[in-house]
Amino acid sequence: MNVDKILEKAVAGERLGPEEGLTLLRQASLPALGRAADAVARRLHPEPYRTYNIDRNINYSNVCTAVCDFCAFYRPPKSDEGYVLPLETILDKVRETVDIGGNQILLQGGLHPTLPLEWYEELLRTIRSEFPTVNVHGFSPPEIYHFTKISKLPLEEVLTRLRDAGLGSIPGGGAEILVDRVRRAITRGKVLTDGWLEVMRCWHRLGGRSTATMMFGHVETLAERIEHLERLRQLQDETGGFTAFICWTFQPDHTAMADVPKAGPFDYLRTQAVARLYLDNFPNIQSSWVTQGKKIGQLAMLFGANDMGSLMIEENVVAEAGTVHYLTLEDIRSSIEQLGYIPRQRNVFYELIDEEAELRAIAANRERCATA
């Protein structure tokens, strides 16, 4: 296949097939991919701004019955290092986020063997009661699938109960690579591909929105990366419920897969660019500065991303693997400005925050940095 013709096709808005996507991953030059992905991002987002969010990852527990070789965060049920955060601690973390202009929390944990569905419902109700303007972006598909097993209830009933208790949207965590060969090779006791997709399908049918992710650079082939993107694209065709796609490279340090060579920035930018070209029905692509650092995170905005991601005032999972990048709100905003765009704060649904509220968030973050 002719790489230039495939790129021209994607830039024009025509849908690529799996073989064309694989050809780009294998053969296209990085600069050519970047130019094409940027052209698509500009076509989809001609506005003069690029966005970011202010939120916080709250990991309510690290106890997990699954065994994921790629994860440095989880602890088995009988570990002395396992924890479940007290409710007051969680509320304090939400309060700190709201105080600096945050409008969302990312709430995730492991597959805890004994916490009942009612525990999660009560947590959601309390957060909604105390912070009615905060969106809870919570519980990845593996967690929700696990809830159905613990509660012995149908998926739709579990999702409906969580929604009614205060769940606002679902993160795309736990996807890794949506190919069962890969999932079986790197994890045990965790939902397989069709189960992950079914959680998202059911949530979308209930009117919910979610994000989609991909963690790559471990045991998958390039063809399996494309298969992952194809499965996401097919579900988006069916439901239209995904707001954004985020990909990042596997961080091997301190995991059972520490011998796997770390994928570098070249592979990250290449894969994200192909994702922008392939996922023609996804409105947004988010940069992953959390795993790549400030410079590559900024460069990703020229490789198909239209969103700089979140300030993320707390992150534990990637940090456990030894990857710690920290950006201030000023870092994020200046990274966008340096590319010639106006930085604008948004919520999880990619709606812009009121400018006055955004200015208050900027002031609160400056004060926070000055007193740190």
Per the CB < 8 A criterion, the answer to whether 108 and 143 are in contact is yes
End-to-end CA distance of the chain: 55
Is there a contact between 56 and 314 (Cβ–Cβ < 8 Å)?
yes
CATH superfamily to which 49-371 belongs: Aldolase class I (3.20.20.70)
Domain boundaries, the chain: 49-371
For residue range 223-246, list pLDDT tens digits in order: 999 999 999 999 999 999 999 999
CA 171, 59, 127: angle at the middle one, nearest 5?
80
Q: What is the pTM for the complete model shown?
A: 0.95
Pairing label, strands 307-310, 187-188: unpaired
Q: Quick: pLDDT tens for 277-331.
A: 999 999 999 999 988 999 999 999 999 999 999 987 765 555 554 445 678 999 9
The string of DSSP letters for 214-272 reads EEESSS--HHHHHHHHHHHHHHHHHH--EEEEEEEE---TTSTTTTSPPP-HHHHHHHH
* CA distances (Å), origin 233, targets 18, 202, 206, 237: 11, 16, 19, 6
pLDDT digits (tens, 9 = 90+) for 57-106: 999 999 999 999 888 888 999 899 999 999 999 999 999 999 999 999 99
SS3 202: helix
pLDDT at 353 over 70: yes
